[in-house]
Amino acid sequence: MHIPDGYLSPVISVGLGVVTVPTWGVATQRVKKVLNNRTVPLLAIFAAMSFTIMMFNVPVPGGTTAHGVGGTLIAIVLGPWAAVIAVSVALIIQALFFGDGGVLAILTNCLNMGIILPFVGYLTYRAISGNAPILSSRRVWAAAVGSYVGITVAAFCVGVELGIQPILFTQDGHPLYSPYTLEQAIPAMVAAHAFGASIVEALITGLGVAYFQKGHPEYLTSLRSVFAPGAAEEGQAASRPLWQIILGAGIATVVVVAVLGLAIGGGDPNHFYGADWSHVSWPDVATMLFVTAVIGVILVPLAYLVLPRRLKGVGAGFTLIAVIAPLGLIAPGFAYGEGSGSDLQAAFGYIPTGFQQLSGIFSAPLSGYNVPLPFFSDADAPLWHAAIGYEIAGVVGILLIGSAVVVLSRVIGGRAVAADRATQSTT
């Protein structure tokens, strides 16, 4: 869903800032009132979580890939205005340091994933959950459905933004920027998410809410009272243990994804979701899985040990997500609309002039989450080398985003944070 530079006219890319920038301003004012020494770390962890989820690519119809965002989960726990801040910070750092999304397209990407997605997801969640108790299972289902709707609507918006380019900007009969028409872009984006990434988003959000119901119900109240003792409403959580909920949801998701993938691939496992899986080296995948498991055995318990008590479970869970993010490297193909000039040349017989002019306008230092060292980024290196490089890039991103959110929070709510720190020191 990250739109690269060259696919949108600068008029559209920058022009959509008339919505994005004022929304950032309102979000800053709404969130600054509730920032303190205990809410800032949670906001930073959620921003890092969104970044990590977006690193995890999943195969989708057409042989391409997509990813979740986590924006609705953040909106449910911290409120939609906090979600705007958290997801936007993640997207900006992705563009500047990893080349994931264009620099000129930052305002548009933040509008789609950082504003539209969490607000649509949150409002859908509220409409479905109604006045149900915080600990009711209805809220779990509402969260899953809300997140599914939120990311699918955001994908539709991306399809519209790409699809109007050939209508508005042409030269000598050829589109200057994205050559995909509305009839191509909207179905591709919506189908890719409705039958792939949106399912993953719903799973992450539903299980996330179920986890908070079991372990930290106070997080499911408003951001203003998120740490207030006894803030959770009356109600009953699901009677089954959390591990059974996770296992059941995981099995159901695997079944649904498998059936859809086989149906789209014509029943051929080698063309699961329309991708060509025959060229994947499964022995390399097995090695990568082993290396990833070893890293997880080390990092997840370490995160649990070093994090503050209130954040141990949440932080360890998000660390696990970061550890398994390289599994997305297995999926063949690339995200829809993120092809190179040669891909457009092969598909359309030409490379749009605007794409040629803008696609190389900025070069990120860790472009593609590749560590620029021979061991990690050699073209002939084993898959597990790339996985470790991906892990390292992810850790760098998590630290950058966590630090950026902490600094931004200090700037936004400096007095409140300082006052809270003083209060804590005196008590």
For residue 185, the number of C-alpha atoms closer than 13 Å in the C-beta half-sphere is 25
pLDDT (tens, 9 = 90+) of the chain, 427 residues, equals 899 999 999 999 999 999 999 999 999 999 987 787 778 888 999 999 999 999 988 888 888 888 999 999 999 999 999 999 999 999 999 999 999 999 999 999 999 999 999 999 999 999 999 989 888 989 999 999 999 999 999 999 999 999 999 999 998 889 999 999 999 999 999 998 998 899 989 999 998 998 888 877 877 764 434 333 343 444 555 556 767 777 887 788 788 888 888 998 889 988 888 888 988 889 999 999 999 999 999 999 998 998 888 778 878 887 888 888 888 888 888 888 777 788 888 878 888 999 999 988 899 999 989 888 888 877 778 889 989 999 899 989 999 999 999 999 888 876 555 555 555 555 5
Assigned domain for 290 exists? yes
At residue 397's C-alpha, the angle toward residues 391 and 398, to 5°, is 90
pTM value is 0.89
The beta-carbon contacts of 163-170 under 8 Å, at least 24 apart in sequence, are: 164/12, 165/7, 165/8, 165/9, 165/12, 168/9, 168/12, 169/9, 169/354
Instruction: State the total domains in the chain.
Output: 1
Assigned domain for 14 exists? yes
Phi/psi for 308 (5° steps) reads -60, 155
Assigned domain for 211 exists? yes
Q: How far is CA 134 from CA 52, 242, 385, in A?
A: 27, 16, 44
Assigned domain for 212 exists? yes
For residue 237, the Cα-to-chain-centroid distance in whole angstroms is: 27
**Contact between 118 and 21 (Cβ < 8 Å):** no
Assigned domain for 74 exists? yes
| CATH code assigned at 276 | 1.10.1760.20
Determine the pLDDT at residue 417. Answer: 56
Check the CA dihedral 179-184-186-189 and report its sign.
negative
Running DSSP on this structure, what letter comes out for residue 270? G
Determine the pLDDT at residue 215. Answer: 79
Assigned domain for 391 exists? yes
Output the six-digit token pair for 417. Answer: 């944070």
Output the six-digit token pair for 343. Answer: 């891909």
Domain span including residue 409: 10-229+236-336+352-426
Query: Which residue in 192, 190, 159 sits closest to 64, CA to CA?
Result: 192
State the helix-helix crossing angle for 198-215 and 242-264, rounded to 10 degrees.
180
Assigned domain for 1 exists? no
